């Protein structure tokens, strides 16, 4: 089974983003390490989301691409919010993007015929 370059890039971005996002949500907020992890997480999330538009197993965009749009919007608003020192909005946006990513990964892994499902099962 040949894996396309967009799928590889997507997986190499989203898999570490899931782990890094969990660590960042669990750790003390506002530390240098939290900020560093956050910047890397945002970059990985944007890469994973943008590259997902090149992944079209049915030949066109699917409903799963809505998660990518939601993540791009949420992470962008969350990044802007922390620069404006709105910690509550930042937390809601970033945790929402993280939860959405985990849900979309579970969906991708559970749908027969999708690559992640084939790799896991």
The Cα–Cα gap between 30 and 47 comes to 24
Residue 33: pLDDT band (50, 70, 90) is: very high
Q: What is the pLDDT of residues 74-107, one digit of tens each?
A: 999 999 999 999 999 999 999 999 998 998 888 8
pLDDT band for position 40 (50/70/90)? Answer: very high
The residues near 33 (Cβ < 8 Å, ≥ 6 apart) are 27
Which has the higher per-residue pLDDT, 56 or 14? 14
In this prediction, residue 110 carries a pLDDT of 83
Based on its alpha-carbon atoms, the radius of gyration of the chain, rounded to whole angstroms, reads: 15
Q: How confident is the model at residue 41 (pLDDT cuts 50, 70, 90)?
A: very high
Q: Is the Cβ–Cβ distance between 108 and 114 less than 8 Å?
A: yes
The proportion of the chain whose per-residue pLDDT surpasses 70, expressed as a percent, equals: 97
Q: Is the pLDDT of residue 36 over 70?
A: yes
Q: Which residue has the higher pLDDT, 109 or 11?
A: 11
């Amino acid at each position: 089974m040949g894996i396309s370059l967009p799928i590889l890039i997507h997986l190499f971005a989203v898999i570490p983003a899931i782990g890094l996002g969990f660590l960042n949500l669990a750790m003390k907020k506002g530390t240098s390490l939290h900020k560093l992890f956050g910047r890397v997480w945002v970059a990985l999330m944007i890469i994973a989301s943008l590259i997902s538009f090149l992944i079209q197993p049915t030949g066109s965009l699917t409903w799963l691409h809505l998660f990518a749009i939601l993540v791009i919007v949420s992470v962008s608003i969350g990044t802007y919010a922390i620069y404006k020192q709105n910690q509550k909005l930042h937390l809601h946006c970033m945790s929402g993007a993280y939860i959405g990513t985990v849900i979309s990964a579970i969906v991708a892994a559970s749908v027969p015929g999708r690559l992640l499902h084939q790799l896991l099962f």
